Amino acid sequence: MTFVSPVLTGPSDTHARARQHERAVAEAAAAYAALPPDQPVRLAKRTSNLFRTRAAATAPGLDLSALQGVIEVDAVARTARVGGLTTYEQLVDELLPHGFVPLVVPQLRTITIGGAVTGLGIEAASFRNGLPHESVLEMRILTGTGEVVTATPDGEHADLFRTFPNSYGSLGYALDLVIELEPALPYVSLRHVRFPSVAALQDVVDAVMTTRAHAGERVDFVDGVVFSATESYLTLARWTDDLEGRVRPSDYTGDDIFYRSIQTRRRDVLTAHDYLWRWDTDWFWCSRAFGAQVPAVRRLWPRHLLRSDVYWRIVALENRHHVMGRIDRWRGRPPNERVVQDVEIPLHRTADFVSWFLREVPIEPIWLCPIQLRPDTHGRHDDPGDDPPWPLYPMRRDERYVNVGFWSTVPVAPGAADGDVNRAIERQVTDLGGHKSLYSDAYYDEATFARLYGDAAYRPVKRRYDPDGRFATLYEKAVQAR
């Protein structure tokens, strides 16, 4: 196998990067061994895309920040070995100039590939490419025993390979991964198609997932936005090397705002880079909470600070100091409940869920992203009666889903308690046969959580790779926020 580097000048530079990475792996294992054995282990990261409020850490964190970057690329096989702490922004910066991207690029720049695999990631390519962990061929994982193991679909550590997705660091940390890539073109052509109801949109999603086309045009990406019960859109997009008559591609990294263009433009063209980060600039539409969409404010807001991680730091400051909460109390306003969630709903029940949500929860817009697990990942052919291929997030290969994302706050109603709206959402998702991502607040009791998130598969793997409980369990992380 001949490896080439997308960022370095020749084989010697590629080998140098590989040697540097191996030193970082050895240093990571040594740093883990040096941590106090009676203290829980946490990952020290400067950025996060989690929305769980955690107690202040008392133990030193494990710094894996040296495990970044593209180590080597096989351009023929379309694979790359990458560091586990590599952000998707860095992956895109290093791979896109050479005509490649990961099969799924989650929509926020600072999501790391290790985080997207041990958690979940999704984007508009997920209707054909599934979830990020499905394009992983191999990963080296630092386990609770301090051992670095190589996990593959059918090797000695296949049990860890299957249960690592959605384990959120409770089984170990990915030090590097071999991932599949796909070719990319310079531009992405978009069509915004309006629907009078989510039911009508749902039918078209089903057809697009079957044919990968709509109205005679190929579809490489599909996601949607619900603005109200009577106004929703699908954005159907495809790779292209043609500006299609435009003088220049659209730019939504400054004054113009992408999600607003969906309602006013039927067709659009973006550079591949800007398409991949179209949602990051305004954190979908959440930047409006910080005034960043007010024209006078936006003109003063430095363009390079229109980024999701900047908004996240503002939220983190509010969570720490509660300035706005005190102002709201001073003004006599009720407290707010955070409702920041992504849920996977079976496609045929999506309209039912959205109708319930719009009726019960005062949050608009809502993001929709169709998803289907890849039909033949790593040579597996699952019959409908087989166990789910990724047991900690038990979606099925024979089922189509839609990710429904909603991110805001709602007033706590008189007589209600903080968390009541989230609990109602959890019940509705479960009743419709769906699952909820675990990056934000969760309220399940332990028995329900075990049933929904693959505890029977998780427990023996936890005992094998973290017998002394150095990492918090998945339930402790996801629900108890440890």
Q: Which tens digits make up the pLDDT trace of 160-188?
A: 999 999 999 999 999 999 999 999 999 99
CATH 3.30.465.10 fits 11-183, yes or no: yes
Domains of the chain by residue range: 11-183
The per-residue pLDDT for range 382-410, each reduced to its tens digit, is: 444 467 999 999 999 999 999 999 999 99
For residue 33, the SS3 value is helix
Measured between alpha carbons, how far is 42 from 49 in angstroms, rounded to an integer? Answer: 15
* Predicted local distance difference test score (pLDDT) of residue 3: 39
pLDDT, position 38:
86
Rg of the chain in Å (alpha carbons): 22
Q: What is the pLDDT of residue 307?
A: 94
- φ/ψ (deg, to 5) at 417: -120, 155
CA dihedral 387, 390, 396, 401 (to 10 degrees): 160
pLDDT for 389: 95
pLDDT for position 316: 78
Question: Which segments of 276-356 are extended strands (E)?
Answer: 336-346
Q: Identify whether the C-beta of residue 370 lies closer than 8 Å to the C-beta of residue 402.
A: yes
Burial of 434 (0-12, 13-18, 19+ CB in 10 A): buried
Task: Determine phi and psi for 336, rounding to 5 degrees.
Answer: -110, 145
User: CB-hemisphere CA count at 13 Å for 356?
Assistant: 16
Sheet with 187-195, strands from edge to edge, namely: 267-271, 187-195, 231-240, 221-228, 366-371, 401-411, 336-346, 435-436
Distance, in Å, from the CA atom of 173 to the CA atom of 140, rounded to the nearest integer, reads 8
Among the listed residues 110, 103, 92, the one whose alpha carbon sits nearest the alpha carbon of residue 131? 103
Q: Other CB atoms closer than 10 Å to residue 236's CB: what's the count?
A: 24
* Predicted local confidence at residue 51, as pLDDT: 61
Is-contact 473 45, C-beta < 8 A? Answer: no
Q: How far is it, in rounded angstroms, from Cα 314 to Cα 271?
A: 29
pLDDT at 331: 65
Please name every residue paired with 63 in a beta bridge, in sequence order, or none if there are none: 44
At 340 the three-state DSSP class reads strand
pTM: 0.92
The answer to whether 187 touches 249, Cβ cutoff 8 Å, is yes
What phi and psi, each to the nearest 5 degrees, are found at residue 69? 100, 165
Return all residues near 116 (Cβ < 8 A) that are at least 6 apart. 88, 104, 106, 132, 133
Tell me the Ramachandran region of residue 367: left when phi exceeds 0, alpha when psi lies from -120 to 50, beta otherwise: beta
- Give the CA distances from residue 190 to residues 221, 256, 268, 401, in Å, rounded to whole numbers and listed in that order: 9, 16, 5, 22
Query: Pairing between strand 79-83 and 187-195?
Result: unpaired
Residues of the chain predicted below pLDDT 70: 1-12, 46-60, 318, 321, 323-332, 376-386
Q: What is the dihedral of CA 42, 68, 371, 339, to 10 degrees?
A: 40
For residue 225, the model assigns a pLDDT of 98
Q: Which residues contact 262 (CB under 8 A, 6 or more apart)?
A: 192, 225, 233, 235
CB atoms under 10 Å from CB of 38, counted, come to 8
Residue 267 near residue 242, CB atoms below 8 Å: no
The closest of 337, 348, 339, 345 to 436, measured between CA atoms, is: 345
Phi first, then psi: give them for residue 172, nearest 5 degrees: 150, -175
What is the per-residue pLDDT for 481?
A: 82
